[in-house]
Amino acid sequence: MYIQKDFIIPETVEKRDFQIKIARNSVKKNTLIVLPTGMGKTIIALILIADSLKKNNKKILFLAPTKPLVNQHASFLREKLDINDDLITIFTGEISPEKRKKNWDKNKIIVSTPQVIENDILSNRINLDDVCFIIFDEAHHAVGDYSYVFISESFKKKEDDHHILGMTASPGNDSNKILEICKNLDIDNIEIRTKYDPDVKPYVHDMKINWRKIDLPKDFALVTQLLKKSLSERLKKLKKIGVIDTSSVSLINKSKLLDAQKKIQSEIRSNQKPSKDLFKAAKIQSESMKIHYAIELLQTQGVESLRNYFQRLSKDASSKNGAKSSRSLITDSNIIEALAHLKNIGFEHPKLEEVLRTVKKQISEKKDSKIIVFTHYRDTSKKVLEVLEKDNKIKPVRFIGQSHRDEDKGLTQKEQSEIIRNFKEDKYNVLVATSVAEEGLDIPSTDLVVFYEPIPSEIRLIQRRGRTGRKMPGKVVILITKGTSDEGYYWASKRKEKRMRSELEFLRSKIKNEIENASSLYHKIQKEKKSQKKIDEFKDGEYNNVKIFVDQREYRSNVVRNLSLSGINIEPKQLDVGDYILSTRIGVERKTVDDYLGSLIDGKLFKQVKKLKENYSRPMLIIEGEGLLTRRNINHKAIFGSLASISVNYGLTVFRTKNELETSDLMSVIATREQREDNKKASIRDGKTAMSDRERQQFIVEGFPNVSKVLAKRLLDYFGSIRDIVNASEEELTKVDGIGKNIAKGIVEVLNKEYLRK
């Protein structure tokens, strides 16, 4: 049976009762769907999109965290929706802001990465008032500073047609995180299904999970022993200093070493004069982490992975800005001896043979099998590929991320898409993948998933496992090296997954009970919405028509987000001086405590302060954060002296704020006071009065579109006067270095455009 619904192409979507039920429950409430990978979350979104298309003519926004996912969702909607394909558009960073603005105005469904939408909201290129429905795919990202949170906050300000759908297979094992996601996405209702639920069970295929234990080769023992000896020497020193409680190699792990790092950094920050022992401890901790990692590589990955790692350390040690810890390790006698023995090991990790054996067996049982082999490290993925290529029945391909690492070039988005297409079309039958294949990508269901090593994250475990057993019974094989960190990761992921399931069950039960009560969660949220709406209306009215210019380097900060959410109009600019312009006379330099102390040490502080004073009659400095007198090893009198000089000698007003929210609130109040009460509008043309003729000429030319100080000087040097610049043609303007066709066209257009009288 197929879904029969307006706007969905007939006989294209199989009908599943649990999807219809979840969609029905999600029509009127903002809903978070938690559903296993491969169970059709996107189908539920499709049903709700069709409902939305039927109800009104406003826009629908479909957000996904990666470009491949955006392309995948757009293709799916074009295949299934009975509307003109031209009404569905894609937004990514590769599409110019101007084109995005045009496409926003003329399209109905926008499928986008969230960062692009956030930037367009902040730049006033788009307005969410035009949107009635937002889908947040992989909604577990909606925490902290992620763009999902800002977009949801902006969408909350709408008076009506405010519908949200969040979708995830794995929200995490912490109920507090799940509740944070609900709060951030303004969720009223949660629809949780597991493969054990009666309405889902008919559509779930069996999955056999085989945890296969591998013996550690005896030849690895001597190298491991030498590395552990080197690590033990350092652990004893760290214990003596007092940053760890044990020097036993068998009892130490990555978490304890990271805790030691936090403790050392905290001690350094809190002491005005940290002892030499603390800085020594920081170096030893770094060395210990690297040795611990080396042991893990040998035991769980193999000989070549360890060789490659030490080659990178050696390269780092010999570079000009290389880490001291790398230099120390490369000259360590135990490590030198370990590397010598490593050269004599003539075979690789037995996991590689086990992967080959497992893949061959699967293909012999089912010739048209599709298989994914997951590896945590790129080096390992390369080695696995080499081993599989030796068998002519196996057609493997490596699937990695886009970033480049040394000589290992990443795959472009186009290359990734082509590999997936070829995998679907059976040109390849084995995908050797890193974490890039875990989340969301439209990779076909496989017969077998092999884990080269266990992973401690329950979210990633579920995502990897979900690549099989979608349309037919599937198999999962997870390789574990006995007596190594593999076993620890195995138990950690099992424990976290079990906890996540119980948390989800508890949350589902809790919400159900609250909805049944008179003081249900839904009514509480609606009440909170109304009070928040009044606050937002007050803020919008308070800051209406107030504009702040923001330097592009500040654009991703929470200060800018908070300013936008409070109703301030934000305009990004490449500012030569300062970070924010609040009015014709007020320019602001914002520095965190670390920024301030860093610029004081490197000598940049007073240059920036001087520039600010020269360009604005009321310059301001905001220092954000706590610990100004304790954060670094700087005498507090020197810090007081710098503040006194900035205030007394340069005449800057210095403000202290605790965090980004306080900073944005302070600037909102100042900008409003200036622009509303004193009618001093924000302008990138500063209020400086004492200029030389040369400076004034540059000042005027800088007013032309996209002309910076540097370009203004070049134009004047080339043409000799403002009059000659004004009289120049587009072709003549492009002869100046840095003036392209677009800038030249913009200058000529603004000079010839008729002035619109009010």
Tell me the helices (H) and strands (E) count for the chain, helix number first.
29, 19
What local confidence, expressed as pLDDT, does residue 755 receive?
Answer: 80
Task: Delimit the domains of the chain by residue range.
Answer: 17-203, 220-343, 350-462, 544-677, 693-752
Comparing C-alpha atoms, which of 577, 526, 529 is closest to residue 549? 577
Structure-token match 């043609």, residue found = 729
**Structure confidence by residue, pLDDT tens digits, 112-159:** 999 999 999 998 889 898 899 999 999 999 998 899 999 999 998 776
C-alpha span between 287 and 9 (Å, rounded): 60
Superfamily (CATH) of domain 220-343: hef helicase domain (1.20.1320.20)
Tell me what pLDDT residue 508 has.
63
Q: Where are the beta strands (DSSP E) in 555-613?
A: 569-573, 580-581, 587-592
Average pLDDT value for the chain = 84
Q: How confident is the model at residue 354 (pLDDT cuts 50, 70, 90)?
A: very high
Task: Return the closest-CA partner of residue 46 out of 18, 15, 20, 77.
Answer: 77
- % of residues, the chain, pLDDT over 90: 41
Percent residues over pLDDT 70 in the chain: 85
Report the C-alpha dihedral over residues 189, 193, 199, 200, rounded to 10 degrees. Answer: 140
pLDDT tens digit string along 15-31? 899 999 999 999 988 99
- What is d(CA 567, CA 677) in angstroms, rounded to the nearest whole number? 17
The tokens of 190 are what? 């949660």
Across 510-528, b (16+ Cβ under 10 Å) vs e yields: ebeeeeeeeebbeeebeee
Question: CB–CB of 396/430 below 8 Å?
Answer: yes
Cβ pair 412, 402 in contact under 8 A: yes
Q: How far apart are CA 558 and CA 541, in angstroms?
A: 22
Q: What residue spans of 205-251 are helical by DSSP H? A: 220-241
- When pLDDT is cut at 50, 70 and 90, the band that residue 104 belongs to is very high
Question: For the whole model, what pTM was predicted?
Answer: 0.65
Dist CA 524 CA 162 (whole Å): 17
- Bigger pLDDT: 707 or 422? 422
Indicate the SS3 state at residue 549.
Answer: strand
Backbone φ/ψ region at 745: left (φ over 0), alpha (ψ -120 to 50), beta: alpha
Token pair in block for residue 415: 């290359």
Dist. CA 112–CA 71, nearest whole Å? 9
Phi, psi of 732, rounded to the nearest 5 degrees: -65, -40
- For residues 581-604, average pLDDT: 91
d(CA 550, CA 117): 18
Cα–Cα distance between 629 and 349 in angstroms, integer?
52
Predicted pLDDT at 636: 84
Query: What integer is the mean pLDDT of 649-654?
Result: 93
C-alpha neighbours within 13 Å on the C-beta side of residue 602? 7
Residue with tokens 């302060």: 609
Give the C-alpha separation, 114 to 112, whole Å.
6
Dihedral (Cα; 668, 574, 752, 725), 10-degree rounding: 140
Give residue-wise pLDDT tens across range 387-399: 999 999 999 999 8
Averaged pLDDT for residues 328-357: 91
283-305 residue pLDDT tens: 999 999 999 999 999 999 989 88
Dihedral pair phi/psi, residue 691, rounded to 5°: -120, 150
Domain 17-203 homologous superfamily, CATH: P-loop containing nucleotide triphosphate hydrolases (3.40.50.300)
Q: Which of 121, 108, 126, 111 has the alpha carbon at shortest distance from 72?
A: 111
In terms of CATH architecture, what is 544-677? 3-Layer(aba) Sandwich (3.40)
> For residue 92, what are the contacts with CB-CB under 8 A and spacing of at least 6?
67, 70, 112, 113, 116
Q: Is the pLDDT of residue 673 over 80?
A: yes
The tens digit of pLDDT for each residue in 428-449 reads: 999 998 876 555 556 667 888 8
Query: Which residue type does 38 have?
Result: G
Count of residues in the chain: 758
> pLDDT tens digit string along 599-612?
998 889 999 999 99
- State the pLDDT at residue 540: 47
pLDDT at 194 (0 to 100): 77
What's the half-sphere exposure (Cβ side, CA atoms, 13 Å) at 300? 25
Query: What average pLDDT score do residues 573-591 get?
Result: 91
Q: What local confidence, expressed as pLDDT, does residue 52 receive?
A: 92
Name the least confident of 429-433, 529-533, 551-555, 735-739: 529-533
For 174-230, write each residue's pLDDT tens digit.
Answer: 667 777 888 899 888 888 887 778 888 777 766 678 889 999 888 898 999 999 999
Q: Which pLDDT score is estimated for 99?
A: 92
In this prediction, residue 432 carries a pLDDT of 92
Q: Work out the average pLDDT over 537-550.
A: 67
Which tokens go with 304? 């070549």
Say if residue 505's pLDDT is above 70: no
Confidence of residue 490 (pLDDT cuts 50, 70, 90): confident
Is-contact 235 249, C-beta < 8 A? yes
- pLDDT digit string, tens, across residues 217-238: 888 989 999 999 999 999 999 9
Fold adopted by 693-752? DNA polymerase; domain 1 (1.10.150)
Task: Judge whether 423 and 397 are in contact, CB under 8 Å.
Answer: yes
**How far from 705 is each of 547, 615, 718, 749, 751, CA to CA, in Å?**
19, 20, 18, 9, 10
User: How much is the pLDDT for 210?
Assistant: 85
Select the more confidently predicted residue: 539 or 288. 288
Residue of 71, 77, 106, 121 lying closest to 92 (CA atoms): 71
The pLDDT of residue 531 = 54
Q: Do domains 17-203 and 220-343 have the same CATH topology?
A: no
- Top-tier CATH class for 350-462: alpha beta
Question: Using the 8-state DSSP alphabet, how is residue 429 labeled?
Answer: S
Parallel, antiparallel, or unpaired: how do β-strands 430-433 and 371-374 relate?
Answer: parallel
